Amino acid sequence: MILNCWIIDDEPLALNLLESYVNRTPFLRLTGKYSSAISAMKDLGKEPVDVMFLDIQMPEVNGMEFSQIIGTDTRIIFTTAFSEYALDGYKVSAIDYLLKPISYSDFLTAANKAFHWFEIARKAASQSKEKRGIFVKSEYKLIQILFDDILYVESLKDYIKIFLAGEPKPILTLMSMKNMEEMLPSERFIRVHRSFIVQKSKIESVNKNRLVINRRQIPIGETYKQAFMALIENKSDSKG
């Protein structure tokens, strides 16, 4: 198994060192090398990125901010010279945290964590290829929801509302948006706002900072706009 990876760091020496480490690691393939999060944004969504070695302290958009728009299929390994960021790194589900100066031994340990994560994830995916939906708890009972029926998901404080095709009322369940995002297949669903996840095939139109599904206007958050527009542009290119 080969993992595609990106390196994003505004320090040229750190960028080149990490590139040399990637080239020494048989199961890693470098597919992106960027000196800022801004320059990396233009390529988000063009091809899958399995692992991202991401510096935290960068101008304009820092690593923590950039990590919020990266899909859940990408595992993040933060790199920084400041140990106080370690806790924040784990808050955004980073798979590991590397403190500069980074040795190859520490780099390889972190890369192996990512490799084992994908081993487990891909094995689970192969065992559930026929999975057609999820179960959620609502009104003291478990309800099966088919992926095909989901229009979009909206957060409501500690709850989420799942809107289904042909149903006048959404299903209300106690769950975080992050957990819901991880349960939904990323090839079918995309988060477009901190309060909304939509099914890609159900999008009827896009106008500036809003999209429409089933006559409902859904906002596109600034944090998610770049990745969403890249997805739309890629779809347009493939149709052409």
CATH 3.40.50.2300 domain range(s) in the chain:
3-127
Give the model confidence (pLDDT) of 92-124 as tens digits.
Answer: 567 888 988 999 999 999 999 999 988 887 776
Residue 80 vs residue 17, higher pLDDT: 17
C-alpha angle 84-86-91 in degrees, rounded to nearest 5 = 120
The pLDDT of residue 169 is above 90: yes
List Cβ neighbours of 213 (8 Å cut-off, separation of 6 or more).
151, 152, 198, 199, 202, 203, 204
Supply 145's token pair. 């929801």
Distance CA 162, CA 180 (A): 10
CATH architecture of 133-239: Beta Barrel (2.40)
pLDDT of residue 163: 97
pLDDT of residue 27: 96
CA dihedral 237, 42, 47, 205 (to 10 degrees): -50
Give the 3-state secondary structure of residue 220.
coil
- pLDDT band at residue 132, thresholds of 50, 70 and 90? confident
The pLDDT of residue 5 is above 70: yes
The pLDDT of residue 239 is above 60: no
Give the model confidence (pLDDT) of 27-53 as tens digits.
Answer: 999 999 999 999 898 888 788 899 999
- As a whole number, mean pLDDT of residues 157-173 equals 93
% of the chain with per-residue pLDDT over 70:
89
Answer yes or no: CATH 3.40.50.2300 is held by domain 3-127.
Answer: yes
Mean pLDDT of the chain, nearest integer: 87
Give the model confidence (pLDDT) of 207-224 as tens digits.
Answer: 888 999 999 999 999 888
Reported as type and span, the H/E element at residue 96 is strand 96-99
CATH 2.40.50.1020 domain range(s) in the chain:
133-239
